[in-house]
Structure 1
Amino acid sequence: MFEKFSREAKLAVVGAQADAKDLGAKQIGPEHVLLGAVSNAEPDLRAVLDARDITADSLRAALAAEPPLGPDDAQALRSIGIDLDAVQASIAENFGPQAWEQAEPEAKRGVFARLLGAGHIPFTGQAKKTLELALREAIDRKDREISSTYLLLGILRGADPATTDLLGGRDAVSGLRTDIYAMLDRAA
């Protein structure tokens, strides 16, 4: 399928992996593909995104600001009898104040991968689904190539809560889809 991707779409997918690594993610999610698509948008798509104030910098900042465990996670743990604040305090007391942030174990890789610094971050199932939906969007429009526009449409079509929030909610996602389809109709 990757051979059907435009230059910009290929750069978007490669960028998604780089962004996921830079942001410390263990897997490439739809939010990373979104960041890649916005970073590598074709000029017409860039105009649509600019009109909605959607930039790679703002998405990257929002992704970097997301805490690993938020208030909803703490509430869910509290509902089963686990006090996240008490756990964090205990870890800080026993292992030092920075232990919580440094708790990620180093990935176990082969000797050659460690020597060369290589390592592929896998796509989540949802991210793979967005790539499949991008292909379907291109086929539906009878286009032979998957551009960053179709990547974005695939993301919007299968929008998960994280990407929906990054883009400003359901109404914003719906409006963006409408704007992109209008852009494609004008170009046709």
Structure 2
Amino acid sequence: MGRVRGYLHRVRAAVYDSFTHEHTPRQIALSFALGTFITMLPTFGFGLIVFVVLIRLFEWINSIALFSSVAVFNPIVKWGVYAGSFALGFLLLGPVDGFGIGDTPSFSAGSEIVVRLLVGNTILAVVVTVLAYAVVYRLVVAYQRNSLPVLEETVGGMVAELETRIEESDPSAEDS
């Protein structure tokens, strides 16, 4: 449980830190949204290299906001993103002959499965990116208007909800 609390503390600190750097709300929100889009795609770790290149190329990018997206869409969360991507891809493009839930894909069906993953993943990434921009923009504007209680309540509420869900799903938490 200590690891989880430490992780949640780092997420909260990263969000607050990104608001205090000298960037406009639009730049901060765009940085987080860009990071969200890249992080949600199946980049197999190369997304972090893309982040470094983008920070070097574009002065307006808020590096803390960009990297904060990795804390939100970490490898554990990405499994859920991939599952949703597959489901959406199969819903939009239809099933693959000889492949169902729980089946091991064959090499012959591989490209059809990858196409479904990429289509579903791209659509999810675009939708979540737009939502991420809107949420972060509003949070930054609220913070910069000295509405710190709104920010603290929002981030605190999100962290409390995560802690509750983790405690509910952790059978060892009931023993302590």
Q: Compute the TM-score of the two structures, normalised by the length of structure 2.
A: 0.35
Q: Which has the higher helix share?
A: 2
Q: Compute the TM-score of the two structures, normalised by the length of structure 1.
A: 0.33
